[in-house]
Amino acid sequence: MEILVTGASGFVGSALIPRLLKDGHTVRAFGRDRARITADVPIFTGDAVTGKGLKKALAGTEVAYFLIHSMEAASQGAFADYELQAAEHFAASASDAGVARTIYLGGIVPASGTASPHLASRFDVEAVLREACPDAVALRSSIIVAAQSRSFRFLVRLVERLPLLALPDWRDNQTQPIDGRDVLDYLAKSATVAKAGGRSLDIAGPETISYGQMIERIRELMVISRPSIELPFSLTALASRVASAVTGEDHGLIGPLMEGLSSDLLPRNNEAQEIFDVRLHRFDAAVEHALAQWETVEALAAR
């Protein structure tokens, strides 16, 4: 198949391209900065938010991945508007190009309560893509455990740099984190599995754990001692500022991510695994692999 991967400089897109090539597909990449795309494939540059370059990049493709997110400081708090504009331009261009299937990786939506702004934005993007392409595949995941996953790196940095782990009341909320290798398996198979067409599917790891348990198990696997204290409140706005400073991450990313911890993020069902037949890695194995990959390029001070 002729496949386009947008967001090709991001951690998911850059890892997906070699997998698609290995599967025998012809792949091209799309991004804003050619220098940041390392894959040895044809590269198309442009900006999905304005629509620049999409028409040329999509011409002749059968499948196109939309892996573009805008939770950065440059969004000035309006990341949802940027994401929606990018999705609308991509969807229109894909439709005009006759793309048979688009594939999107978004986030699991809480079953109860109000979705955080970044999860609500993912849901809106999914709706745009599915409306434009009847055979679209939308995958929703919780936290991805991988060396380059910024949500996972954020948790590792907290464990590494805080001498005392203060766990707000969202520590008891539950989710099913998924190994980055399994996410790539789902994404790659989405290009060819007919039964996935026109579906929105939740992808998740095999274990349901709380955020507090997740942090504790990361601490154990890093083999370091960190006492913890349970707080009876969250103070997300203040805590996200402190966490951003501690981890050295952009608050434009950390703020929305921490807002997403305010409720359980659990898959609606197990249909994705049944459709794709993906063999899932358990949480500890995922963390061990991610930490090992991380340390091939950067030593963790706490280790």
Give 211's contacts (C-beta < 8 A, 6+ positions apart). 167, 170, 171, 172, 173, 174, 175, 261
Residue 195, classified by CB atoms within 10 Å of its CB into exposed (0-12), middle (13-18) or buried (19+), is: exposed
Whole-structure pTM value: 0.90
Say whether pLDDT at 75 is over 50: no
> DSSP letter string over 4-60?
EEESTTSHHHHHHHHHHHHTT-EEEEEES-GGG--SSS-EEE-BTTTTBTHHHHHTT
* pLDDT tens-place string over residues 258-269: 666 778 889 999
Say whether pLDDT at 189 is over 70: yes
What pLDDT is attached to residue 74? Answer: 43
Bridge partners of 145? 179
* pLDDT tens-place string over residues 103-155: 999 999 887 766 677 788 888 999 999 999 999 999 999 999 999 998 898 88
* pLDDT tens-place string over residues 228-252: 887 766 666 656 676 677 777 666 6
What pLDDT is attached to residue 169? Answer: 80
Q: Once rounded to an integer, what is the mean pLDDT over residues 17-25?
A: 97
What pLDDT is attached to residue 12? Answer: 95
Cβ–Cβ < 8 Å for 222, 291 = yes
Cβ–Cβ < 8 Å for 211, 280 = no
What pLDDT is attached to residue 154? Answer: 86
Report the b/e string of 50-84 with b at 16+ CB within 10 A: ebebbbebbbebbbbbbbbbbbeeebeeebbebbb
**Domains and their CATH numbers in the chain:** 2-144+178-204+265-281 (3.40.50.720)
Among candidate residues 196, 28, 204, 203, the one with its CA nearest the CA of residue 102: 196
Give 271's contacts (C-beta < 8 A, 6+ positions apart). 199, 201, 202
What pLDDT is attached to residue 203? Answer: 97
Say whether pLDDT at 77 is over 60: no
DSSP 248: T
Say whether pLDDT at 217 is over 70: yes
Say whether pLDDT at 73 is over 60: no
What pLDDT is attached to residue 298? Answer: 85
Check residues 162 and 245 and name the one with the higher pLDDT. 162
Q: Once rounded to an integer, what is the mean pLDDT over residues 1-10?
A: 95
What pLDDT is attached to residue 89? Answer: 96
- Give the DSSP H/E element, type plus range, for residue 63: strand 63-66
* Top mean-pLDDT range of 22-26, 37-41, 159-163, 245-249: 22-26
Q: Round the average pLDDT of the chain to a whole number and report it.
A: 88
* pLDDT tens-place string over residues 39-60: 999 999 999 999 999 999 999 9
Cβ–Cβ < 8 Å for 25, 187 = no
Say whether pLDDT at 96 is over 80: yes
